[in-house]
Amino acid sequence: MRRVMIRVMRRAVAVLAVVLCTGVSVDAQAAPPAASARAEIFRRAQRLVNDGNGPEGRALVDSLLNATEPRSADEAEVLFWRATLAENWDQAQRDYMRVMLEHERSSFAPRAMLRLAQGELMRADTAASLRYLERSLLEWPSFDDAKVLRDRLLAARQVAAVPADTSRSVRGAAPATPPRPAGGGNAGGNAAAGAMAWSVQIAAFPTADEAATFAAEMRERGYDTRVDGSVAPFRVRFGYYATRGAATAAMEAYKLNARADAFLAQVRRP
């Protein structure tokens, strides 16, 4: 009985935090917010993160998670959003994996696996990305986004001459290749400074401040962005890829995930 009371109290405190931050009303029994209320909370959290108030936005989602019944369908949605707004890839990967493993029947499971595939691709691990995609197509054959990205990756892999390796199942197992450091996207490893490489350009701005602000926002979303150029236009780019094929795969993943345009640029490594 005491455990039940503690759980109810924790949920009540979490719901109160949500109310204070968003103004969304909930009933006196501390029931989890309804779908429409959750959607408003997610929008509020995303605005906070996009405006540079990442800790506040993520705390809002944490409060919502505390108010959500464990293993429920709602938990899958909240975990997915927490991963989307995570401060770094390690945190995002952990929540995406939870959605995939603990909520495999949820509509968010294939979306979580696609995000995992995109995360591996941003680390220039095309083989690991393909394993996630091919597994998702086995379990969710009608998931069109995975089909599109897999086809593009297969074409890019042929260009980059990345060997196929789909013999291992990703469910419950770590990728065959360990994740690269947070500065991922530097395919080619120890290439010398000054060597030519490929980058993905996602924006250009007339002022350095605008470019820096946008680059910081994209880093919040998991992209290792930087600002190139000392005069206008100031270009926002990510990655130093040794081959055009690897850069193309990363660009296609960005387009699909961000629903935005991008193109390749050949640059010199710093």
Which residue is associated with the tokens 């350009």? 201
Residue 70 maps to a domain: no
- pLDDT digit string, tens, across residues 87-116: 888 888 899 999 988 888 888 888 888 888
Q: Return d(Cα 225, Cα 212) in angstroms, integer.
A: 9
Taking the chain, what is the end-to-end CA distance rounded to the nearest angstrom? 62
| CATH classification at residue 240 | 3.30.70.1070
CB 177 within 8 A of CB 129: no
Residue 137 maps to a domain: no
Query: DSSP label at 124?
Result: T
Helix (H, G, I), strand (E, B) or coil at 247: helix
What's the pLDDT at 116? 86
Residue 256 maps to a domain: yes
Of 20-24, 38-42, 262-266, the poorest mean pLDDT is in 20-24
Q: Return d(Cα 171, Cα 202) in angstroms, integer.
A: 32
Residues 6+ apart with CB under 8 A from 36: none
pLDDT of 210 higher than 50: yes
Q: Return d(Cα 206, Cα 231) in angstroms, integer.
A: 9
Residue 160 maps to a domain: no
Q: Which two tokens stand for residue 140?
A: 């969710």
Residue 240 maps to a domain: yes
* Neighbour-count burial for 21-47, b at 16+ CB within 10 Å, e otherwise: bbebebeeebebbeeebbeebbebbbe
Residue 124 maps to a domain: no
CB 269 within 8 A of CB 242: no
- pLDDT digit string, tens, across residues 151-206: 766 665 555 444 444 333 333 333 333 333 333 445 544 556 678 899 999 988 88
Q: Return d(Cα 184, Cα 78) in angstroms, integer.
A: 27
Residue 71 maps to a domain: no
Q: Return d(Cα 266, Cα 163) in angstroms, integer.
A: 24
Q: Return d(Cα 264, Cα 88) in angstroms, integer.
A: 25
Domain of residue 254 covers 196-268
- pLDDT digit string, tens, across residues 64-76: 889 888 888 889 9
CB atoms within 10 A of CB 12: 17
pLDDT of 148 higher than 80: no
**What is the number of domains present in the chain?**
1
Residue 152 maps to a domain: no
Give the bridge partners for 29, in sequence order.
none
**Percent residues over pLDDT 70 in the chain:** 71
Torsion of CA 22, 113, 123, 87, to 10 degrees: 20
Q: Which two tokens stand for residue 233?
A: 């236009």
Q: Which two tokens stand for residue 227?
A: 């600002």
